[in-house]
Chain A
Amino acid sequence: MMKKILVVCGMGVATSTVANKIITDHLAAKGIKASINQAKITEISAYAEDVDLIVLMAMGANIPESIKAPVVKGLPFLTGVGKEAALNEIGEILSK
């Protein structure tokens, strides 16, 4: 079954777009198939129910306790620092 990634940021338009593109390119290069959606942090409950992984761009935001999916911090996709490590972490979670 295709794995599902949800990229969450404050507005669902800027930082999550960048992370989406970087992750999409990385997974394509690795031959990993996954679907990626973007959401605003305020909409997370509506989107996160059946996802395999959440990439969180808005660090101040709290993830509701009901959401059990693993969370990867998305800041490296904005600053470049730790980007490879974050991509590897995503790859590992998806391969489980």
Chain B
Amino acid sequence: MTPLAGCLLVSALLFSVGLAGALTRRSAILVLAGIELMLNAANLNFIAFWRFGPHPESLTGLMFVIFSIAVAAAEAAVGLALILAIYRHARTSDVSEITEMRG
């Protein structure tokens, strides 16, 4: 197995773990953590293709990862603020109990 395939398999595994967490956990915070894991798996793919691709000197994959990390930071800040606001309103962060946005 080539290093590229190894990276892609690790990334697929990490993506599946994140997806499983996002789909199965009760806590809204861990759902967000699962989404972060999926984003990180995609970043690992970008780095792997940049490293083992034909034109690493064009820096495309690396730049995509840097911008993706910045977007993920913004997403995490807004997501956790939303969870806090919902918790104050509904007194729970259990996604199976939060069934309405008004009320």
A joins B in a complex: no
